[in-house]
Amino acid sequence: MKELVVATRNEGKLLEVLDILKDLPVKVSALKDMGQLIDLEESGKTFEENAAIKARAVGGVTGKLTLADDSGLIVDVLKGRPGVYSARYAPTSEERNEKVLKELQGVPFKKRTARFVCVMVVYNPITKEVKTAEGVVEGYITDRPKGKGGFGYDPIFYSPELGKTFGEASAEEKNRVSHRARALGKVRGYLRYLLQNEKS
């Protein structure tokens, strides 16, 4: 069976990728399975740049087909923050959520529009080919965290499609509408093609 390395140390992201790609004929490995120290410095100015940096770094070291993503929360009234700095907006998930909520104090719900953006990159180290896809899910920022599920900003992101926050949603519900699921959906065909190609 072919192998796909997921270039992340985020357990929540890895579990989502595993669930969304569970029907593909591929063994999914994480960085923790590789036994190698690989620098995943996110020095890009866009989600696409960061995802490509990670995919090329991991694919270059392992020599294996690599999937990487960079994602984040964009809040309109905050002029796009936290954006590409979503994972570094504060030291912990709880503190990041608290910071966003504090910055939105006094802002009415209808003006708390936001979206999760995910850019997914597939890197083939044999051909050096890069495939990129973007997934977006629209929503609102709540006035307080709701739900214990998911990870990151999920407890403060309300999805009109689900009628609840991502933190309140089950993994199955979230993976039906999430930005990561939508981005992965766009690269599934390409992944399947590479997995069936002897040179990949």
- Residues marked active site are found at 70
Strands 2-6 and 26-30 come out as parallel
One DSSP character per residue, the chain reads: -EEEEE----HHHHHHHHHHTTTSSEEEEEHHHHT---------SSHHHHHHHHHHHHHHHH-S-EEEEEEEEEEGGGTT-BGGGGGGSSSSHHHHHHHHHHHTTT--GGG-EEEEEEEEEEEETTTTEEEEEEEEEEEEE-SS---S-SSTTGGGEEETTTTEETTTS-HHHHHHH-HHHHHHHHHHHHHHHHHHSTT-
